[in-house]
Each structure stands twice: as C-alpha cells, then as structure tokens.
Amino acid sequence: MPLDALLATLEQNIAEELNVERLAGAGLLSRSQLYREFYSATGHSVKEYVRKRRLSKALALIKHTDTTLAQIAQECGFSLPQTLCKSVKAATGQTPSQYRAGGGEYYFPAYKGQPVLPVMVVAETIPPTLRLRYYDSCLKGIESRALAWLFAARPGYRGRIFGRNGKQEGQRLCYELYIEADGTDQPAVSGTFAKTICRNKEAEIHAAWDYLCNGWLKTSMFTQADAPYLEEYIHADGHVNRLQLLLPVEKKSGFHKIRLCQCDEMRFLAARRSGADAEDAASQAVMDFLRAHHPDLARAARQFYVANAQDKSCTCGIALPPQLILPPNCGVEMITSPAGEYAVLEGCCCGNTGVYESVLSAWVGSMGLQSATPTFAVYETDGSFGRREIRARIYRAIKN
C-alpha cells in the first residue's frame, strides 16, 4: 500500500530534514493525498508524527544507553542538544538526566495499522478526594451529564476532577466523580499508571481506551494491575476540552533490565534439531561432538546459546574460539551473531527462553524499534550450574 511505503521511508530517514515532496513520491501520493490519508490513518499530521517518533527514539536511547545527548540529538534529527532537552522537558516534565535516572517511560510506537497516541508510564499519587455519585438511566453521555451536574452544584470549581464507572443500582447507572475538596472521604492512591491524553469527544475517548488497553498494553512490557482505572478531566471555566486516561499497570513477570548496546561479534558451535525434545537433542549433539573431539573445550564452556524458531526447531550452541575448524559432515556448525546494535534483556536463569523473548519483543515494539534478526539467548555461568548462579541475556538485533 502507498502509506506503508511512506511510513517505511519515514522510519529509515527519521533523523533527516522532513521533505514532504519526497515523502509523497515514496508513498506514490500527491501532496494533498499525503496530508489527508496520513492524518486519517495515524491521527497525526506528518510533522507531528515525525516529531513524536524522533522524541520516542531519543528517549529510548536516553533511558537505555549511555550515549551522550549530543550523539542522541544527531541520531534522532534534533538540531542541537538544547533542542532535544527542551523537547524532553515538554513531553515528560523532566530533564534528560532526570528521565534517565527515573522510573518513567515515554512511548510513541511506529504506526502499525491503528492510530497511535503518546503513552507515558509513571509512578503517580492521586490526591485525597471527595467521591460524588451521579445516577442516570442512560449510559451514553453519562460522563458529560455528571460533569454538568458537578459544575452546576459547584460553579467556579478549579480543582482536579477524576472519574470512572460506578456500581449500578437497580436500573440506575452510576458514574463516580472524585474531586479535590474539604472533607475528603477517599484516601490518596499511589501507583504506576500508563497515561495518554485525548480530546473530550465520546468516540475519541472510546478509541483511546481501546488503543491503551488492546493496542499499546498488549505489545508493551506491562500488564494491567489489579486496581481501578481513572479518567482525569482537564477543564477551565466549567468546560472540559481534554481527558487524561490513567490505566494502572505493573511490569510483566520475567522483566529485569533491558539495554540498547553495541555488541561485538559472537561465534558459537551449534546444532539445530526439531521435534518435541529439540532443545535437549541439539545441546546433546554439541556436547557429544566436543567430548569426542575437544574435551578440554567442553569442560571450559561458560556461555551457552539457545534460539527457538517459529517452525518449532531449536538451535543450541556453545561460545568457542573462532579458530576452531570443523570436520565435514560432523552434525554441528559454527554460527555467527554479527557485531552491531542489540536490545539486550538481562535476567536470571529461566528454563523457557520464550518467557523472556516475549518480553523483549514487546519492549522493542513499544519503543518503535525495528528488529533485524530473530531473538536468541545466551546463558552465562562462572562454572557453577545452580539456577541462581546462571544469568541469562536475551539478544535481539536492531536495524539502524
């Protein structure tokens, strides 16, 4: 499709100066078609989309690498480090150093078939509030009617307003409002929230919740926490123009630490097998070869390679010196992981690498990064083989 070609061109040239005519040509669209179809699909103008994708990539590098701000600014299309700093501050409320040290995350993934909204994951405390219950027989538009009821009862109210669906009583539907007021009856609530902002239009609110819960969340490194969602109404003079959606989240099990880093070339003596016991059979083939031909290398092995393929086959290997020469038809091979940039998840030993692979793949997608090769795991030991002594690193190569 023309839009797919255009988006691919954007991602490949995200740091370059925006040239609308070139983008229109890449997408086989006229300039007017480009503006219209791009906004219709993504929910953003071309310039706004590029700006947010540049910032998302820059914040991923700030959070998960030790790259300098000057290098990040150059790689992500910011004219100066100071320009990058201003953009980070505007989006996150933090300086780059604060963002790097803090626990928050900013996401604006690449468009993949549905409109994209910026998502911030932050630890936040909702202040003590007073709960007000509004009842109505009609669900559609109940939020707007509840707000009108509040502003009529408290004209000139300027505090924060939160809302969520309440418990139905008989045929009466309920919407709850939580406001800052004297005589609060709801304690402060602290937690980690995934947040996004949308306009106060019912269709856009539903679309934003759908994106947050069924789009972004499913491909993120988070899962929904056991706590109620909230909507915060951003208002002035009794009018609400925007909503901030707050979804309580927690990190998925198996997540430890992820870094983007430059890795040297790695070589492994490996075997590939298929079937129900593919991993055991592949690792046994490697060890049998080493015991027969290089028993000293078998005893000295400290790094072990595992890669699962979609066809249910498994490749297992051991890191060995590059000068090792293999005889023909020996049932094993040397495989190479080329030098380059990788997303690397570090964790403890896990019997099923798929647990970590799904987390890393979701993180790569959340960051809007492009993967170059399938995921593989390297287990490392200092010579002890208890589960607590073995560390796992999961690697996924990233396209430049």
Rounded to whole angstroms, the Cα distance separating 8 from 370 reads 10
pLDDT in tens, 283-326: 999 999 988 888 888 888 888 999 888 778 899 999 877 677 78
- Please return the burial class of 82, using the count of CB atoms within 10 Å of its CB with bins 0-12, 13-18 and 19+: exposed
pLDDT per residue over 122-169, tens digit each? 999 999 999 999 999 999 999 999 999 999 999 989 999 999 999 999
Q: Which helix (H) or strand (E) holds 145?
A: helix 142-153
Could you tell me the two tokens for 89? 């501050």
Architecture of domain 2-113: Orthogonal Bundle (1.10)
- CATH superfamily, domain 124-251, is Regulatory factor, effector binding domain (3.20.80.10)
- 54 φ, ψ (degrees, to nearest 5): -60, -45
345 vs 367: CA distance, rounded Å? 14
Cα–Cα distance for residue pair 76/61, rounded to 1 Å: 10
- How many residues make up the chain in this entry? 400
Rounded Cα gap, residues 311 and 364, in angstroms = 22
Tell me whether domains 2-113 and 124-251 share a fold. Answer: no
Among 124, 141, 140, 107, which Cα is nearest to 215's?
Answer: 107
Please report where in the chains the tokens 């086989």 appear, as a residue: 28
What CA–CA distances, in Å, run from 58 to 62, 71, 72, 100, 115? 6, 10, 6, 11, 21
Element (H, E) at 152: helix 142-153
pLDDT value at residue 20: 76
One pLDDT digit (tens) per residue for the chain, 400 residues: 567 777 888 888 888 887 777 777 766 678 888 888 888 888 888 889 999 999 998 998 898 888 899 999 998 999 899 999 999 999 988 999 999 988 888 988 888 777 788 999 999 999 999 999 999 999 999 999 999 999 999 998 999 999 999 999 988 999 999 999 888 899 999 999 999 999 999 889 999 999 999 888 877 778 899 999 999 999 988 899 999 999 999 987 655 678 888 899 999 999 999 988 898 999 999 999 988 888 888 888 888 999 888 778 899 999 877 677 788 888 899 898 999 889 998 876 555 566 677 778 777 876 667 777 778 989 888 766 555 567 888 899 988 6
Number of H helices, E strands in the chain: 12, 17
pLDDT at 256: 64
CATH of domain 257-397: 3.20.80.10
**Is pTM, for the whole model, over 0.75?**
no
- Residue 4 one-letter amino acid: D
Sorted by where each begins, the domain ranges of the chain are 2-113, 124-251, 257-397
Q: Which uninterrupted H or E stretch holds 55? A: helix 46-64
d(Cα 397, Cα 400) in Å, to the nearest integer? Answer: 10
Q: What distance in Å separates the CA atoms of residue 211 and residue 203, rounded to the nearest whole number?
A: 12
